[in-house]
Amino acid sequence: MIKRFIQIAEHLLIFQNYNSLLAIMGGLAHYSISRLTKAWRLCNLKIFKKLKRITSPKRNFSKIRRLYNGANFPCIPPLVIMLRDLLYIQDGNISFKNDFINLEKMVLYAKIVGRIYNNRDSPYSFVKVQFIQNYIQNFEVLSEEELERKSKECE
C-alpha cells in the first residue's frame, strides 16, 4: 500500500496537485506508517526521497513554492502553505498606518488570494469515476490510537 501511495504522489506532482502531494507525503511520514520497515523495503525509495526533498519544509518549503510559482494552470496550490502565509501577513503587519488602511498588507493578501482564485478557472479534464468518489467521500478516518494499533498489527 505504501508503494501505491508513492506512485499516487508521483502522479500528483506531474498533475501539479501540490495540496494533495503535501497531504500524502505527510501521511507517509506519520509514525504509524514510517515504522513499517518490511513494507518500505518493497518501495522505490529513490522516487520517495525525490518527493520528500520537494515537499521538505526546509527554507519555508522553498522547493514546492518554486514549483507552484512556475506552474501552468491547471494546478492545485499547496493550500496549507498559502494559509500559513496569510496568517503571517495578518499577524506580522499592522492593518492601519496613520488612520489609513495599510495598502501594502492588502497587496500581500491579494497576491496570495488572487493566485488561488485564478486556479479555479482552469479545471482539469479528468473523467468522473463515481465509485472512486464514493470511496473517498465515505472513507473512515482513524484515530491516532487506531492507526498505531493497525500499524503494529502489520509488522
3-state SS assignment for residue 101: strand
Q: Answer yes or no: is pLDDT of 95 > 80.
A: yes
Whole-model pTM: value is 0.86
Spelled out in words, what is the top-level CATH class assigned to the domain 2-154?
Answer: mainly alpha
Q: Give me the mean pLDDT over the 94-108 stretch.
A: 94
3-state SS assignment for residue 71: coil
Residue-wise pLDDT tens digits, 19-77 = 999 999 999 999 999 999 999 999 999 999 999 999 999 999 999 999 999 998 899 99
What are the cell numbers at 5?
Answer: 501511495
Lookup result for grid cell 506519520: 30
CA separation for the pair 74, 126 (Å, rounded): 12
Domain locations in the chain as residue ranges: 2-154
Task: Determine phi and psi for 150, rounding to 5 degrees.
Answer: -65, -35
